[in-house]
Chain A
C-alpha cells in the first residue's frame, strides 16, 4: 500500500474550553488508493482525534452537509480530490456565518433567507385528479435550478451576503426563487417578483460570480438572478 503523509492546518474552536479560536497543525497518513476524497481523510483525522468536529452525511455530494472552506475556496469535502490539494491543506468553516465549533457554522441566517422566498409551489386552483400537465420543454426550464442541495457554498462566498446576510437573499435563495418563478405550474410569479424588487433582497447582487465558481453541483445562480432581473424589466415596460 502506497501511503504518504499529508499536512493540514485546521481551524479549531470549542467554546466550551477554548478562549479563542486557533489553527491546528496536524498530519495524517493517507493511502492514495482508498483515500480519494477530503472526507475520507477527515474521517481518518477524526479517528486520531475525536474532538475534531464537522458535519457530514451522504459522502456523495447530494446532501450538502460537509461544505467548508478548503484552501481558501468553498467546497464539499466529499467531492474534493485530495491529490489536487496544495499542502498544508487549510480547512476553515464557511466564511460569513457565526461559528459554533471547529468547522461547524450556524446556518440559521442562510435558511432564513431560503425560507423568505416562499420555497414551495403556489397554485390556488383546486388540484386536478391527475398530475398537472407540463411539457418537457417547460420542465426543462427547471434544470440547473431544482438540483440545489442548500450546502451554502455559494452564499457564503458572496461578499454581498457577508455584508448583508439579513437583507440580501443571497445566491442560493435567489436560485430557488427563480426555480419557482420558472415553474409553469406556479401562479405567484408577480408576487414573487414584487417581493424581490428591493434594493437589498435582489439588487445587492453585483454579478461577482463567486457563487458560480464554487457551486459543487455546477449550477449558475448568477444566471438565475439575471433572469429574474430580466423579468422585472420586461413587466415594467
Chain B
C-alpha cells in the first residue's frame, strides 16, 4: 500500500518553543519547511512555563555566563556535558535579547531593562550567594514566550500543519533520516513528509507518571519514534520532580514564588529547608528541595488530615508584589487549591515535571550515536533532546533557555548541512511506510485487546510507585518486571472508535505506544544505575564518606544509553572538557 508523499527541505515535528525557534531560522533563511504539531502552536506545553528564562544579563546585579555555567554543571551533578553547557550559557544573553526584539513582553526594571528574579540554584561567583538571573514576564514567561515565537513565525510565513501527529521516522538502510510519516487528525489521512532534514522538537513524556505537571499531550512521541527507528535514548532514569505541584491537582506552582520570597513550611510552621540547605535554603536545587519535602512528609511532619503535603507560604509578601509578579499563581491557587495565597499558604507536593534525558545530540542539535557519529538528516532540540545540558538535574529556567539556544542552533546546523547536501532528495526506501501502516492496521482490527485508558493508568501507577523521588532497589527490580508485563498489553490495545474523523481514541492509543517506550527506558535505566546522582537517589547508594551523597564517580560518571531492541543498555563518557574554559572539577554537591 502506498501513501501520498510531500517533499520539503526540512520538516520540524513539534511547535513548542524549540520547534518554533528552529522554524524561525529555517523560514527566514527561505528553506521550504513544514512544521507539524498535534495542537495549534500556542497550545504546546511551553505555554505552561511560569518563572523565567535564565541569562546572565546582569540587569540588577553583577552576573557572568561562567557563573551560570558553573551552576548548571553543579546542578547537573556533573552529568551534564560541559561543552554543551558552556555553549548554552554563553548564548543565553543573545537569544533572550533576540526574543525581546521579537516582541516578548518581559517585565521591566526601573531603568527599562528586562526584569530578573532569583531562582533555585542560581548563584553568583561560583556558588556563593543567590543572584537575579531569571528573566521573567510576571509568572507567565512560557506563555509570553510561546506566543512571541509563534507571532514571529506568522511574520516569517512559516508553513504549519496543525493537528497532525507524526507517527514514525523514515530511516533508510544507511541509517539516514528522510522525514516522517504523519497522521492528519481531522481526516485520518496518513502522509509521508519527505525531507532532507528532520528536526524533532516533540517535548517530554511527563505523562508516564500518574502525578505530573505536564499537559495531556506530553507523551514522548519523538522518543518513541526514535527508539522504534533504532536510535538509543540517553539518561532516561533522570526525571525532575518539581517541589511545588498543587497537592492533589498536580498543577505547577513556579519556583519563582520562592524567588520572590516564598517559604516552604512543615506542619509545625517550620522553615525546614534551613536544615537541608543552610546557604540557599528554599532556593536550593529542585532535586534537593523535593527530597527534603518527601523526608518531612515521611517523618510525620506533613500537613493536612493525612499529613501528606507541605505548604508554600507567601502570606508575608505584600499583596501588591503577589498581584504584580505572581498573578497567575494566585489564579491557579484559587482555581486548583481553593486558596487565596495572599491569605493562606498553598498545599504542595513534589510532582513529576521534566525529563532530563532524551534523544542524544551534540550542542549543534545533531543526533549522535554511541560512537559519536551523527545520524545524517536527523536533529533534535528542547525537552525531547539530551545535549546534555541538564545531566542528572535541571536548574529552573534552563528549560526555556535550552529550547531557545538549541532550537536556534539546530536550525542553523540544518541550514549549514543542507548547503553541502545534494539538491535532490535521496530516494525513499521501498516499503518505508509498511511498519507504520501495520501498526495502524493492528489497532483497527484488534479484538479482545487491552483498554488504552486502563493500561496507561497501570503504567502511570507503576512508574509513580516504583520510580519516584526516592528509589529502592527491590521496588525498581519489581518495577522492571511490571513494566515489561504492561508492555505486552500495550502491544494489544483496542479502541472502539473507528471513525476517520478526529479520532482521539486512535491518537491516544498511538501516543501510548510512545509512552510505553519511555516508561521502559526509564525503569530499566534506573534499575541499572547503582548510585545516587541528582534526581536519581536509591536506598542502596546512601551518603557515605567514600561516596558523598551516594555518588560514585569511578563507576557511574557516564551517560546511560537504552536501546529498544532487546532493552540493551550501554554507556558513554560524560564530556568534561568545555569549549574554551577549564573543566569545572568534580565536587560534592551542597547548597
A residues near B (Cβ < 8 Å) are: 14-17, 34, 36, 46-47, 49-51, 53-65, 79, 100-102, 104, 107, 111, 115, 118-121, 123, 127, 129-136, 138-139, 142, 146-147, 149-150, 180, 183, 185-186
Contacts and interface: CB of A to CB of B under 8 A. Distances in A.
Contacts of B155: 118, 120
A101 B499 contact: yes
A111 B41 CA distance: 12
Contacts of B107: 136, 139
Contacts of A120: 102-103, 151-152, 154-155
Interface in B315-367: 328, 331-332, 335-336
Interface stretch (B255-263, B430-438, B501-509, B560-568): B501-509
Given A16-B501, A150-B40, A119 B151 contact: yes
Contacts of A149: 42, 47, 143
B106 interface: yes
B170 interface: no
A123 to B, nearest CB: 8
Given A53-B504, A101-B502, A58 B45 contact: yes
A60 B336 contact: yes
User: Which residue, B109, B251, B453, B504, has most C-beta atoms of chain A within 10 A?
Assistant: B504
A51 B497 contact: yes
Given A120-B154, A186-B103, 18 more contacts: A17-B499, A51-B499, A54-B504, A59-B215, A62-B47, A62-B143, A62-B328, A63-B42, A63-B44, A64-B43, A65-B43, A101-B499, A101-B502, A119-B154, A131-B101, A146-B144, A150-B42, A185-B103
Contacts of B440: none
B100 A132 contact: yes
B257 to A, nearest CB: 15
Contacts of B216: 56-59
A147 B110 contact: no
A131 B144 contact: no
Contacts of B97: 129-131
User: Which residue, A63, A136, A150, has most C-beta atoms of chain B within 10 A?
Assistant: A63
B426 interface: no
Given A16-B500, A130-B97, A183 B45 contact: no
Contacts of B40: 65, 107, 111, 150
Contact of A63 (B48, B137, B148, B508): B48
Contacts of B100: 131-132
Nearest to B98: A127
A15 B251 CA distance: 35
Interface of B: 39-40, 42-45, 47-48, 57, 97-98, 100-103, 105-114, 137, 140, 143-144, 147-148, 151-152, 154-155, 186, 215-217, 248-249, 251-252, 328, 331-332, 335-336, 452-454, 495-497, 499-505, 508
A62 B499 contact: no
Nearest to B142: A62
Contacts of B103: 120-121, 180, 183, 185-186
Contacts of B39: 55, 57, 63, 65
A121 B99 CA distance: 11
B129 to A, nearest CB: 25
Contact of A132 (B101, B147, B331, B505): B101
B497 A50 contact: yes
B42 A139 contact: no
User: Which residue, B98, B502, B505, has most C-beta atoms of chain A within 10 A?
Assistant: B502
14 contacts: A36-B336, A51-B505, A55-B39, A57-B43, A63-B42, A100-B186, A102-B502, A118-B154, A123-B101, A131-B97, A131-B100, A139-B105, A139-B107, A185-B103
B113 A131 contact: yes
Contact of A34 (B106, B215, B248, B505): B248
Given A139-B108, A183-B105, A60 B332 contact: yes
B106 A131 contact: yes
Nearest to B45: A58
Contact of A146 (B43, B110, B147, B215): B147
A47 B453 CA distance: 6
Contacts of A60: 48, 251-252, 332, 335-336
Contacts of B44: 63
Nearest to B188: A16
Contacts of A138: 108
A66 B140 CA distance: 19
Contacts of A119: 151, 154
A63 B215 contact: yes
By Cβ-Cβ distance, the 5 closest A-B pairs, closest first, are A121-B103, A133-B112, A50-B505, A120-B151, A63-B43
Nearest to B99: A131
